[in-house]
């Protein structure tokens, strides 16, 4: 039998704004810097070590395999560690990985560091939505999830700006490592944890089954993950290699994904609280499909509009799925169940880079990878319509 304990509390004299800011920064460091910066620097790292797209894509997949294993680890340890300690340990692991990347004399170090950042990032992402909801209140859970998701967008945006402004990819990781250390101090000082323990640990499919349409939710999240990983990994490469964008221009256009994530997070969360998750989920998936097609064109103004739309659509899907889980479960129960869902998401993410790299090498273009992303988004949209139809029949 599990016991309930406070998942996180404001430190003495700390405002809600400061605590939410620390969570936003933590998701920026763990997800954007630790996981998605490699997508921004893909061409530079590939060319620096003279890699094929298949091998470079495989390295990206290892980062996501690490995220998958990290989700499993979180599921088994969150009951003992609690949400706050899990987030702290995860953020610390990401920082160590970023520090390794600032040095990285060979591809073996890069590969290990990216695996480590993926492994540790799960500790932050699984816990941040529940902590944010605890701070802002259940009635604002959509907004809470939106804010932590916005952190990913802000981090992604700045990663692209750093890439455009700095000379080498290692310099980008140096700045990100310094920001990570600052964020860890902020998180440690702003949110305190209880010493109480919980017996709830391990993977909890039983908790996940409490959510109506849980299986459909898992399938939708998995397909969305494949689509997202393909787009995030290969959009910048498509703009540079296929569309002829200069490196700095491609990075700045790619930064619009981060801007879309940052703007879409609180906006979509606010809309989900008011007009419902169903409407925003359908709109988000439809926008995802459209964005992939727009990016594939490689046209000036059209492709940048597609990257911005993708960022907003990505946020919409993540916010609505996360909010659906948090509306049925809270505390460590949310963390354990969401870890299971994150495992599905991570598995989908791990498939994308490897598959896209093979497609790019065989076709000589990154466009087919983006079209496959759109196809996965369409399948997820069909599953969502089916889920809504079943819900209407059961009324």
pLDDT at 3: 40
Residue 116, classed as helix, strand or coil, is helix
Q: Reply yes or no on whether the pLDDT at 319 is more than 90.
A: no
pLDDT tens digits, residue range 365-385? Answer: 999 999 999 999 999 999 988
Q: Reply yes or no on whether the pLDDT at 208 is more than 70.
A: yes
Q: Reply yes or no on whether the pLDDT at 195 is more than 50.
A: no
pLDDT at 391: 55
> Cα–Cα distance between 222 and 202 in angstroms, integer?
21
Q: Reply yes or no on whether the pLDDT at 302 is more than 50.
A: yes
> Cα–Cα distance between 77 and 79 in angstroms, integer?
6
Domains, the chain, ordered by start: 14-193+203-393 (1.20.1250.20)
C-beta contacts of 213-220 below 8 A and 24+ residues apart: 213/387, 213/390, 213/391, 216/383, 216/384, 216/386, 216/387, 216/390, 217/321, 217/324, 217/341, 217/387, 218/341, 218/344, 219/380, 219/383, 220/321, 220/380, 220/383, 220/384, 220/387
pLDDT tens digits, residue range 36-95? Answer: 899 889 889 999 999 888 888 888 888 888 988 998 898 888 778 888 999 999 999 999
5 pLDDT tier (thresholds 50, 70, 90): very low
322 pLDDT tier (thresholds 50, 70, 90): confident
pLDDT at 110: 95
Distance of CA 115 to the CA centre of its chain: 15
For residue 83 the two structure tokens come to 């949400």
Q: Reply yes or no on whether the pLDDT at 14 is more than 80.
A: no
- Is the full-model pTM beyond 0.85? no
pLDDT tens digits, residue range 139-155? Answer: 777 778 888 888 988 99
CA triple 248-254-255, angle to 5 deg: 90
pLDDT at 204: 54
> Cα–Cα distance between 352 and 331 in angstroms, integer?
31
Highest mean pLDDT among 12-26, 61-75, 214-228, 249-263: 214-228
> Cα–Cα distance between 235 and 224 in angstroms, integer?
16
For residue 310 the two structure tokens come to 């993708």
Question: Who's near 26: CB < 8 A, 6+ residues apart?
Answer: 87, 91, 124, 128, 151, 183, 187
pLDDT tens digits, residue range 264-294? Answer: 877 777 777 777 778 888 999 999 999 999 9
Q: Reply yes or no on whether the pLDDT at 7 is more than 50.
A: no
pLDDT at 395: 52
**How would you class 331 by CB atoms within 10 Å of its CB: exposed for 0-12, middle for 13-18, buried for 19 or more?**
buried
pLDDT at 89: 96
pLDDT at 332: 64
Q: What percent of the chain has pLDDT over 90?
A: 39
């Amino acid at each position: 039998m599990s016991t309930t304990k406070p998942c996180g509390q404001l430190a003495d004299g700390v405002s809600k704004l400061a605590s939410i800011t620390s969570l936003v920064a933590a998701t920026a460091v763990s997800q954007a810097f630790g996981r998605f910066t490699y997508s921004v620097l893909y061409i530079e790292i590939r060319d620096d070590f003279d890699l094929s797209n298949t091998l470079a894509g495989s390295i990206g997949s290892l980062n996501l395999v690490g995220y998958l294993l990290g989700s499993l680890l979180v599921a088994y340890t969150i009951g003992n560690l609690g949400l706050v300690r899990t987030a702290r340990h995860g953020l610390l692991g990401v920082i160590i990985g970023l520090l390794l990347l600032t040095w990285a004399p060979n591809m073996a170090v890069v590969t290990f560091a990216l695996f480590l950042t993926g492994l540790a990032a799960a500790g932050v992402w699984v816990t941040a939505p529940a902590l944010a909801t605890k701070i802002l209140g259940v009635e604002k859970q959509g907004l809470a999830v939106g804010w932590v998701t916005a952190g990913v967008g802000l981090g992604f945006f700045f990663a692209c700006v750093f890439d455009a402004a700095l000379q080498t990819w290692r310099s980008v990781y140096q700045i990100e490592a310094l920001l990570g250390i600052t964020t860890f101090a902020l998180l440690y000082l702003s949110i305190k944890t209880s010493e109480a323990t919980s017996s709830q640990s391990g993977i909890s499919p039983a908790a996940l089954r409490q959510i109506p349409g849980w299986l459909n939710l898992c399938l939708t999240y998995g397909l969305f993950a494949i689509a997202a990983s393909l787009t995030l990994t290969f959009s910048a490469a498509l703009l540079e290699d296929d569309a002829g964008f200069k490196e700095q221009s491609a990075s700045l256009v790619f930064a619009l994904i981060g801007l879309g994530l940052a703007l879409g997070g609180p906006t979509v969360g606010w809309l989900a609280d008011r007009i419902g998750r169903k409407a925003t989920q359908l709109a988000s998936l439809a926008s995802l499909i459209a964005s992939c097609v727009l990016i594939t064109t490689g046209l000036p103004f059209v492709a940048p509009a597609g990257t911005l739309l993708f960022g907003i659509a990505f946020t919409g899907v993540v916010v609505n799925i996360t909010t659906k889980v948090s509306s049925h479960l809270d505390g460590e129960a949310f963390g354990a169940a969401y870890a299971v869902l994150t495992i599905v998401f991570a598995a989908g993410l791990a498939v994308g880079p490897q598959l896209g790299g093979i497609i790019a090498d065989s076709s000589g273009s990154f466009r087919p990878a983006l079209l496959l992303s759109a196809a996965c988004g369409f399948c997820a949209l069909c599953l969502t319509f089916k889920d809504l139809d079943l819900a209407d029949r059961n009324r």
